[in-house]
């Protein structure tokens, strides 16, 4: 049996052993995903080919992907895209890889929208790949949104994702320093600020520390620098029936709550992610009269406006 006649099943087993030795979790699954990427094939198609060999170019592509993954390049970077809220988002070097825990913000926002067909105005601060804004627009068919970020390369990625998802006509993009100079009111404000502390950053997995942009992760020594800049401006961006959903580090609920109170904002809810950790703080300009215990009040929204 020549090298190139080795069945794909054996190649997958070899790759899984190498990946496991490099500290990759669930190495067999990771090997299968790399094979799908190398062959540009579905899981079913890869399974159907397990008894046969790969073509020479397929062998080379698979070997390169395995080597890159062993070097702890994240799978999303190799694929160039990541799924978020069942939508596919392209990435570039300037954008953070979307995390599943960030979907908590979308859940929190949708739980507070009484009428999903309303003409709503959404703001996304530090938009990155555009995943938060575009996921919400996909659920709110008459909403319009503005995504802001300080990096032109980030905005180019978000703009391209909007076009791919058929949402370009309802999304606008602006280079901006967080909320500085923006005029409200917006019905919904979303933000996933950098909240990792400088010390925590040194302990992150190689996939994150060496491949995600540090500016999108680290929020100063205590992880709260971006919140200190955002909070004082939020009250001017929110109307009386509006709300903001901000992602937080799971140890930061108390500190972010204090910053919100200092800015005259009401904490309507602190929502937990699927791991049970505090992940999203929901803010409003004033306490709602009708609050549900433990989960925060549902705040109706309905403003209309152009995001520009």
Instruction: Render pLDDT for 84-102 as a digit per residue (tens, 0 to 9).
Output: 999 999 999 999 999 999 9
Task: Write down the pLDDT at residue 287.
Answer: 60
Task: Write down the pLDDT at residue 21.
Answer: 95
pLDDT tens, 45-88? 999 999 999 999 999 999 999 999 999 999 999 999 999 999 99
pLDDT at 306 over 80: no
Q: What is the mean pLDDT of residues 206-212?
A: 94
pLDDT at 300 over 70: no
| Predicted confidence band of residue 241 (pLDDT cuts 50, 70, 90) | confident
131: left (phi over 0), alpha (psi -120 to 50) or beta: alpha
287/197: higher pLDDT: 197
What are the structure tokens assigned to 154, written together? 């980030």
Q: What is the DSSP letter of 92?
A: -
Q: What is the mean pLDDT of residues 173-194?
A: 93
Number of H helices, E strands in the chain: 12, 9
220: left (phi over 0), alpha (psi -120 to 50) or beta: left
Task: Write down the pLDDT at residue 139.
Answer: 98
Weakest-pLDDT range from 18-27, 96-105, 160-169, 279-288: 279-288
Q: How far is residue 218's CA from residue 252's CA, in Å, rounded to a whole number?
A: 14
Task: Write down the pLDDT at residue 183.
Answer: 86
């Amino acid at each position: 049996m020549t090298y190139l006649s080795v069945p794909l099943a054996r190649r997958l087993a070899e790759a899984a052993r190498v990946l496991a030795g490099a500290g990759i979790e669930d190495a067999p699954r990771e090997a299968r995903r790399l094979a799908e990427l190398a062959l540009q094939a579905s899981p079913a198609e890869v399974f159907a080919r397990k008894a046969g060999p790969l073509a020479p170019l397929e062998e080379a592509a698979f070997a390169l992907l395995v080597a890159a993954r062993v070097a702890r390049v994240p799978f999303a970077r190799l694929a160039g895209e990541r799924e978020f809220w069942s939508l596919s988002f392209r990435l570039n070097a300037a954008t953070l890889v979307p995390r599943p825990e960030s979907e908590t913000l979308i859940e929190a926002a949708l739980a507070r929208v009484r009428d999903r067909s309303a003409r709503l105005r959404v703001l996304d601060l530090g938009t990155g790949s555009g995943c938060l804004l575009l996921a919400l627009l996909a659920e709110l068919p008459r909403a319009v949104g503005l995504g802001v970020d300080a990096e032109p390369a980030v905005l180019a990625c978000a703009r391209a994702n909007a076009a791919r998802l058929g949402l370009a006509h309802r999304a606008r993009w602006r280079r901006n320093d967080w909320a500085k100079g923006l005029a409200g009111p917006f019905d919904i404000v979303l933000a996933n600020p950098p909240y990792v502390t400088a010390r925590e950053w040194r302990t992150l997995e190689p996939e994150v520390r060496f491949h995600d942009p540090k500016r999108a992760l680290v929020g100063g020594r205590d992880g709260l620098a971006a919140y200190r800049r955002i909070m004082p401006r939020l009250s001017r961006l929110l109307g009386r029936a509006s709300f903001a959903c901000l992602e937080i580090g799971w140890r930061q609920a108390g500190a972010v709550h204090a910053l919100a109170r200092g800015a005259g904002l009401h904490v309507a809810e602190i929502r937990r992610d699927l791991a049970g950790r505090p992940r999203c703080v929901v803010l409003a300009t004033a306490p709602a009269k009708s609050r549900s215990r433990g989960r925060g009040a549902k705040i109706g929204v309905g403003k209309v406006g152009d995001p520009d």
